[in-house]
Amino acid sequence: MKQTTLIKNATVINEDKTFVADVLIDNGIISGIGNFSIASGYKVIDAKGKYLLPGIIDAQVHFREPGLTHKGDIFTESRAAIAGGITSFMEMPNTIPNALSLEITEQKYVIATKKSWSNYSFFLGISAGNEEEWRKVNSQTICGITDDGLYFTEKGMMLSSNPQLMEKVFSEAEIFIAIHSEDEDILEENKLHYQKLYGENIPFECHALIHSDDACFVATKKAIELAKKHKTQLHILHLSTAKETALFQNDIPLSEKKITTEVCIHHLWFCDEDYKKSGAKIKWNPSIKTKTDREELWKALLDDRIDIITTDHAPHTFEEKQKPYLQCPSGAPMVQHSLVAMLEFYHQGKITLEKIAEKMCHNPALLYKIINRGFIREGYFADLVLVDLNALWTVTKENILYKCGWSPFEGQTFQSKITHTFVNGNLVYENGNFHEFIPGHRIKFNNHKKENRL
């Protein structure tokens, strides 16, 4: 039976405006924004004193299914995501098998139709030899192609390590390209240096020196130069250095940019001083770097050189993260805590609520050309999140929802709490409780084909 939901008296954060309004939802779609009377049969949510944002779109996650489901799976991680206000995600190809063919990628979509609480899309991986696969991608139903995460499989899988393949991809691909930008030769040279000093027991404090700012800058600069040559739609994933921020522009609208980038929550939150306390828990690639790098990333985010915020959610078991440096995998779970972390920065006066909505909701939709999501607009899908900005809570093992059961935020007290999450108009999460499981939708896109190639 069709149900109409009325969210009453919400403080709406949308398109650089803050205002009090009701939001009417019919059949999964926002049908009205204004002042509405309660009618018979309406499901009413009283949102007085709470803030309503578009659902968060996380454009970089690793949910580990298939093949690595001891770490996480699409059901558990998307469930944690909606508790964190994330209503749509885009997932990377470093599953087992790697998603290097359209057949394998479509198998992931089949899994998601049965298991994903959130809306979803999956990147196709790039490697030497799968040219026919990325040439055939339907850019209206797949978010893009990427090399991210594939370097864990074998050396040389990053595009920056294979100039001939990168030239081919950048010159021929007719779809959005997102890359992990580190120079593998520099990484290897740095790692050997610290192995000579420490043997197999390299301190985690050395991670930022191995995955250095030079390794990132050299790779990013080369990629941008090549993208400009071929007019490629290039996106640099998880920017981490001050040096790199100077390579991006803010003098044109996002819709006109060919070269874009993002920052992850952890690069805004942590710095290299935190390795002493947190060690393996904050080992990511690219690495957490200096306090100066963190501050320059903030500046670039706020002045629009950095376009979107993502999580790079990458769960590993606690046992895996206890291994010595060289055996310890990089990555950590983040989706449950990304929005509340950004709201903590709001409380600190570092960012406005409107800017959070822009970088986590509006801009991902614009950048990836997502159809009818990312904004609170009539006719758009009712992907929405309500937050209470004055509800203290502390991250503990008991309230962590990731399958791996741990978080780098454990022990952190946040001032804000997600109270309601709607996916396609369905209230799926309310005050700490999950409602009936209703699968999310496959995200659809306007195409990303290149223009003016000649």
pLDDT in tens, 320-329: 999 999 999 9
**Domain assignment present for 63:** yes
List b or e across 108-127, with b for residues whose CB sees 16 or more CB atoms inside 10 angstroms: beebbeebbbbbbbbbbbbb
**Domain assignment present for 84:** yes
Strand partners of residue 421: 385, 429
**Domain assignment present for 67:** yes
At 160 the pLDDT is 80
Q: What is the tens place of the pLDDT at every residue in 416-425?
A: 999 999 999 9
Q: What is the tens place of the pLDDT at every residue in 204-241?
A: 999 999 999 999 999 999 999 999 999 999 999 999 99
At 153 the pLDDT is 56
Strand partners of residue 41: none
**Domain assignment present for 301:** yes
**Domain assignment present for 9:** no
Contact 114, 439 (CB under 8 A): yes
Q: Is the pTM for the entire model greater than 0.85?
A: yes
Mean pLDDT, rounded, for 188-192: 97
pLDDT band at 149 (very low <50, low <70, confident <90, very high): confident
* CATH number of the domain to which 129 belongs: 3.20.20.140
At 150 the pLDDT is 82
CA distance 52 to 382: 11
Contact 422, 382 (CB under 8 A): yes
At 451 the pLDDT is 47
Which domain range does residue 119 map to? 55-368
**Domain assignment present for 442:** no
Q: What is the tens place of the pLDDT at every residue in 308-319?
A: 999 999 999 999
Least confident residue range of 121-130, 178-187, 444-453: 444-453
The half-sphere exposure of 162 on its side-chain side, counting CA atoms within 13 A, is 19
Mean pLDDT, rounded, for 377-406: 98
At 200 the pLDDT is 86
CA distance 220 to 146: 15
Q: What is the tens place of the pLDDT at every residue in 253-275?
A: 999 999 999 999 999 999 999 99
pLDDT band at 1 (very low <50, low <70, confident <90, very high): very low
**Domain assignment present for 453:** no
List b or e across 324-360, with b for residues whose CB sees 16 or more CB atoms inside 10 angstroms: ebeebbbbbbbbbbbbbbbbbbbeeeebebbbbbbbb
At 423 the pLDDT is 98
The half-sphere exposure of 88 on its side-chain side, counting CA atoms within 13 A, is 29
The total number of structural domains in the chain stands at: 1
Contact 74, 315 (CB under 8 A): no
Q: Is pLDDT of 3 > 90?
A: no
**Domain assignment present for 423:** no
pLDDT band at 452 (very low <50, low <70, confident <90, very high): very low
